[in-house]
């Protein structure tokens, strides 16, 4: 009996020890939403390859969807959560870093050569109070997708000014075509894409930069004119009757079918083009959104499509660093962008070793080159989710709906937005804004 107990006891100790090893060597990463094909791509090119290269670690990705931001904040406040912290942008990083929830990455960056591998502008967006806390997952922009076949059939050309845009949209409305294919079903923050476009293309990025650095208030006249223009598009029906019930994939389907002629949205939607413009990818175009008076054309609003950090409470910080290092490798860049464009445009300095297959539409590579050129020529703007602090950003998403639904005036919306921003600015929650 004693011998049997000894065997059972030994087996139990071995089991508990094995469990401890697994827990210690696990690397956890909470991700946002991804469809089954996208999850399969991350499994093949990230999880499987990482686990093969790092036999002492086991990476798991947990898909949290639209609740990711909220769940991350709660977890980090309690000292729990994933090892790899995937935030919506630099402003969220600033709050977490200053609350002591993230590891400083300077030593790791030096060890792994991240400063040499990643474009300096984007590295600087992850620095707060002189230390590096985050790396940008992808850089992205907002612009105007359009159906070339519909444009050709009607003799239209992409507009470059706001008056041209309004005249064209009125003509589309008269023909029963939705001018702006858009929708926020499943992703309410889609609202801020339109706000970002209006602020940068109408008020202009110079004014946005001044407001972000506290030089002028958000109630200034250029912003009033921008939000009034955006509200007029809603009132005229440019966004169509189904904005609150359409998701991103349905929007792209409508654009491909020609029931919508244009779609003001982000470069991440290049990932949907192969499916919805299957066999006719030459029929989709992407250009800068038209500019207001006195604003150069085109302005490409610059966005950081989430960031990577390591939790200060990480169970496996070394493993988390290896995961981030793999993300910023030429191998992963090539693998993932061959099957999933628009979401993984990591800002690597040197893409000479990247080889994208012929299935990747030329328009994507051309548009990303245009974005890089816009940054070099100072014709870039500021997306709200990248540069506004969290509470201000959250208010933009909800508040603009109240403007559209005639609950709030433009002036009241901007006054509340400015009130929240000024408080966050005073609390040090606004990300450092690089000089233009």
pLDDT per residue as tens digits for the range 367-426: 877 887 787 788 999 999 989 998 999 999 999 999 999 999 999 999 999 999 999 999
Position 431 scores a pLDDT of 80
Phi, psi at residue 262, to the nearest 5°?
-140, 160
Give residue-wise pLDDT tens across range 253-306: 999 999 999 999 999 999 899 899 999 999 999 999 999 999 999 999 998 878
- Does some domain include residue 2? no
The predicted pLDDT at position 362 comes to 83
The CATH number of the domain holding residue 280 is: 3.40.190.10
Q: What is the mean pLDDT of each run of 10 residues along the chain (436 residues)?
A: 43 43 76 93 98 96 91 95 92 88 98 94 88 93 97 98 98 98 94 98 98 98 98 98 97 98 95 91 96 96 91 97 97 93 88 80 82 82 92 96 98 98 92 79
Beta partners for residue 285, in sequence order: 146
Does residue 408 form part of some domain? yes
Is 297 part of a structural domain of the chain? yes
Residues 286 and 176 in one domain: yes
- Domain-embedded: residue 175: yes
The Cα 417–Cα 404 span in angstroms is 16
Residue 327 belongs to some domain of the structure: yes
Which pTM was predicted? Answer: 0.79
In 3D space, the residue among 279, 240, 215, 244 whose CA is nearest the CA of residue 430 turns out to be: 215
Counted residue by residue, the chain has a size of 436
Range of the structural domain that residue 131 is part of: 26-138+305-356
Give domain status of residue 153, yes or no. Answer: yes
Do 55 and 130 lie in one domain? The reply is yes
Question: Could you give the CA distance from residue 60 to residue 141 in angstroms, rounded to a whole number?
Answer: 29
Token pair, residue 281, equals: 């990818």
Looking at the structure, tell me whether residues 114 and 180 fall in a common domain: no
Structural domain total, the chain:
2
Q: Are residues 152 and 124 in the same domain?
A: no
Look at residue 14 in the predicted model and tell me its pLDDT. Answer: 42
- For residues 421 and 83, give the distance between their C-alpha atoms in angstroms, rounded to a whole number: 30
Pair 334, 392 in one domain: no
Dihedral sign for Cα 208, 210, 213, 214, please.
negative
Instruction: Find, among 68, 18, 36, 29, the residue nearest to 51 by Cα.
Output: 29
Are 198 and 331 contained in the same domain? no
| Same domain as 179, residue 67 | no
**Does residue 293 share a domain with residue 157?**
yes
Residue 372 domain-assigned? no
């Amino acid at each position: 009996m004693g011998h049997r107990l000894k065997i059972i006891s030994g087996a139990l100790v071995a089991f508990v020890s094995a469990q401890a090893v697994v827990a210690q060597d696990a690397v956890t990463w909470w991700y946002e939403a991804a469809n089954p094909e996208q999850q399969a791509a991350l499994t093949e090119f990230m999880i499987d390859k990482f686990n093969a290269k790092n036999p002492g670690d086991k990476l798991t990705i947990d898909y949290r969807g639209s609740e990711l931001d909220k769940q991350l904040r709660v977890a980090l406040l309690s000292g729990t959560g994933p090892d790899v912290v995937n935030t919506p942008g630099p402003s969220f990083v600033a709050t977490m870093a200053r609350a002591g929830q993230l590891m400083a990455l300077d030593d790791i960056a030096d060890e792994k050569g991240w400063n040499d591998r990643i474009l300096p502008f984007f590295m600087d967006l992850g620095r707060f109070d002189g230390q590096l806390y985050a790396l940008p997952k992808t850089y992205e922009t907002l612009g105007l997708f359009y159906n070339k076949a519909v444009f050709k059939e009607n003799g239209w050309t992409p507009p470059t000014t706001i008056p041209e845009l309004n005249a064209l949209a009125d003509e589309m409305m008269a023909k029963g075509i939705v001018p702006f294919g858009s929708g926020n079903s499943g992703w309410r923050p889609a609202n801020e894409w339109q706000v970002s476009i209006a602020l940068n293309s109408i008020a202009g990025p110079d004014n946005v930069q001044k407001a972000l650095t506290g030089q002028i208030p958000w109630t200034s006249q250029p912003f009033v004119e921008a939000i009034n223009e955006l509200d007029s598009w809603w009132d005229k029906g440019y966004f169509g009757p189904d904005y609150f019930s359409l998701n991103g994939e349905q929007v792209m389907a409508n654009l491909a079918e020609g029931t919508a002629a244009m779609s003001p949205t982000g470069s991440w939607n290049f990932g949907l083009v192969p499916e919805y413009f299957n066999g006719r990818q030459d029929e989709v175009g992407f250009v800068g959104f038209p500019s207001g008076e006195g604003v150069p054309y085109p302005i490409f609003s610059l966005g950081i499509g989430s960031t990577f950090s390591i939790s200060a409470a990480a169970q496996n910080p070394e493993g988390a660093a290896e995961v981030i290092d793999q993300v910023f490798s030429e191998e992963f860049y090539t693998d993932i962008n061959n099957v999933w464009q628009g979401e993984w445009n990591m800002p690597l300095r040197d893409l000479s070793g990247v080889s994208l297959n012929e299935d990747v539409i030329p328009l994507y590579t051309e548009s990303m080159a245009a974005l890089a050129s816009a940054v070099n020529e100072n014709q870039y703007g500021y997306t709200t989710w990248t540069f506004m602090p969290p509470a201000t950003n959250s208010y933009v998403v909800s508040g603009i709906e109240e403007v559209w639904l005639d609950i709030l005036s433009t002036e009241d919306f901007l006054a509340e937005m400015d009130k929240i921003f000024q408080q966050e600015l005073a609390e040090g929650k606004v990300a450092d804004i690089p000089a233009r």
